[in-house]
């Protein structure tokens, strides 16, 4: 708009100077041409000899961690850079702040920006954009630097010290670590040799290091796989942002999986969103990373009810497995596929994500009016009926709201001595 106005003024001055033959108008016309031409030349040279780059200190992080973005801009030319606007467009929950600066010839500036990661997901940081122009603001120049970066923000695996997962005993397994006199795949350590120990249990490297014979100690294999069934049916999820039921469900799934992996159990997960995601059961750090990356990407965009997910998945479980269902559905139909699991030697835990609590929290944060009394009573009645139906089938149940911590909520009531055996 400004350039159009200046062009109109230049044409008017040129026409007036030709008609009137006034030296003053002719001087103003050439002065305007000089200013505009000089501004255009400064703009053309403003990015010449400029070097820049950016880097992030991590490509994978958990919700709540802080990522640091580092920038460096250097002027290699013999002309000063009067002003530069440096920023990174990004699809993060918070904007990465940019910076305006000027550079003398040969000068370099470096700085770091902390970015708090508050939303899980696969986030894209676009290439760095440098914007500059002439002092009058008539012309602007842009340049992009470097490739884009994808940052994976995973949900937190919160500690659940009071949760003892239901265990279904299979032959040759134990719900707790126990020393074994026989050889098993789980080696827990070494100890000094005693005359009754078999020679094939001697650990020669440890013996050489200690200067005396050392033998391996074994542990009975712990309870078998744990499978998590995460409900992503958009029809049953409620709430927005951090008060969304899907966010609480993902936190629960991640934390339960972390608890099981820390206990040495193999963990698998099945979730039906817009695509069916199945991660086979496995142990170890790599499985933890795979599971977190999967949970970082899921959303409540599915159309498959949790009952169909359970009917499809539970039939493949073997004896000794534990099934954990994470759902906000108040429809008691999904309980029926779970009723015969105990007879098959499969443990069950139901984690019900409380829909009324998430709706209330969303309305409170957004400043919206509370749900009407009739709607609130309907939800409360459905939730009571679901709990009663689960109790009738003797299925351990935990109800989770978005306000209290998971550590305080993830406790099985009535578990004898902190242990519940299926």
Helix H or strand E encompassing 362: helix 355-366
Q: How many domains does the chain have?
A: 4
Q: Give the model's confidence band at 143: pLDDT under 50 very low, under 70 low, under 90 confident, else very high.
A: confident
Assess whether 245 and 384 both reside in one domain: yes
Assess whether 291 and 195 both reside in one domain: no
Residue 55 CB partners (closer than 8 Å, separation 6+) = 69, 70
pLDDT tens for 282-341 read: 888 999 999 999 999 898 888 889 888 888 888 888 888 889 999 999 988 898 888 888
* d(C-alpha 163, C-alpha 228), whole Å: 15
Structure tokens at 373: 């009394």
Neighbours of 100 (CB within 10 A): 11
Q: Give the model's confidence band at 13: pLDDT under 50 very low, under 70 low, under 90 confident, else very high.
A: low
Assess whether 236 and 320 both reside in one domain: yes
Assess whether 240 and 341 both reside in one domain: yes
* d(C-alpha 199, C-alpha 211), whole Å: 17
Placement of tokens 């470097």 in the chain: 146
Q: Give the model's confidence band at 146: pLDDT under 50 very low, under 70 low, under 90 confident, else very high.
A: confident
Assess whether 136 and 101 both reside in one domain: yes
Assess whether 73 and 103 both reside in one domain: yes
CATH number at residue 134: 2.60.40.10
Domain, as residue range, for 190: 180-219
- 315: helix, strand or coil: coil
Choose one of 168, 194, 219: the last residue of a domain.
Answer: 219
pLDDT tens for 180-196 read: 444 555 556 778 888 87
Q: Give the model's confidence band at 249: pLDDT under 50 very low, under 70 low, under 90 confident, else very high.
A: very high
Residue 347 CB partners (closer than 8 Å, separation 6+) = 165, 166, 167, 168, 321, 322, 323, 341, 422
**What percent of the chain stands above pLDDT 70?**
78
User: Does any domain span residue 86?
Assistant: yes
**DSSP secondary structure string for all residues of 123-136:** EEEPPEEEEEE-TT
Assess whether 272 and 324 both reside in one domain: yes
Q: Are 87 and 37 in contact (CB under 8 A)?
A: no
Angle (deg, nearest 10), helices 355-366 and 373-392:
150
pLDDT, residue 8, reads: 60
CATH number at residue 414: 3.40.50
Sign of CA dihedral 357, 258, 223, 225: positive
């Amino acid at each position: 708009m400004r350039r159009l106005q200046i062009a109109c003024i230049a044409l008017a001055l040129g026409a007036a100077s030709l008609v009137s033959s006034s030296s003053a108008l002719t001087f103003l016309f050439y002065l305007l041409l000089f200013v505009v031409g000089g501004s255009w030349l400064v703009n053309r040279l403003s990015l010449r000899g400029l070097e820049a780059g950016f880097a992030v200190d991590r490509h994978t992080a958990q919700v709540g961690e802080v990522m640091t973005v580092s920038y460096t801009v250097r002027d290699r030319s013999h002309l000063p850079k009067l002003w530069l606007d440096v920023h990174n467009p990004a699809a993060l929950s918070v904007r990465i702040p940019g910076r305006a600066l000027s550079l003398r010839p040969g000068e370099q500036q470096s700085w770091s920006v902390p970015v708090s990661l508050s939303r899980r997901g696969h986030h894209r940081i676009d290439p760095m954009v440098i914007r500059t122009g002439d002092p009058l603001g008539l012309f602007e120049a842009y340049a992009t630097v470097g490739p884009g970066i994808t940052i994976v923000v995973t949900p937190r695996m919160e500690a659940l010290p009071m949760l003892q997962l239901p265990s279904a005993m299979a032959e040759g397994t134990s719900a707790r670590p126990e020393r074994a006199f026989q050889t098993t795949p789980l080696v827990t350590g070494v100890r000094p040799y005693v005359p009754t120990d078999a020679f094939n249990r001697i650990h020669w490297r440890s013996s050489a290091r200690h200067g005396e014979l050392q033998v391996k100690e074994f542990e009975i294999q712990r309870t078998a796989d744990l499978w998590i069934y995460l409900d992503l049916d958009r029809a049953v999820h409620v709430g927005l942002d951090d008060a969304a039921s899907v966010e609480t469900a993902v936190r629960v799934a991640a934390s339960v999986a972390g608890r099981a992996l820390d206990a040495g159990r193999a963990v698998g997960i099945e979730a039906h969103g817009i695509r069916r995601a199945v991660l086979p059961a496995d142990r170890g750090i790599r499985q933890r990373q795979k599971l977190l990356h999967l949970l970082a990407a899921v959303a409540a965009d599915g159309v498959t009810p949790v009952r169909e997910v359970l009917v499809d998945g539970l039939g493949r479980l073997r004896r000794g497995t534990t099934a954990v269902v994470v759902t906000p559905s108040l429809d008691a139909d999904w309980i029926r596929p779970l009723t015969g699991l105990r007879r098959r030697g499969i443990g069950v835990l139901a984690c019900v994500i409380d829909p009324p609590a998430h709706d209330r929290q969303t309305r409170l944060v957004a400043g919206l009016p509370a749900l009407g009394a009739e709607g609130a009573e309907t939800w409360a009645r459905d939730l009571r009926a679901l709990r009663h139906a689960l109790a009738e089938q003797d299925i351990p149940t935990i109800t989770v709201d978005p306000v209290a911590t998971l550590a305080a909520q993830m406790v099985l009531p009535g578990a004898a001595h902190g242990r519940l055996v299926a």
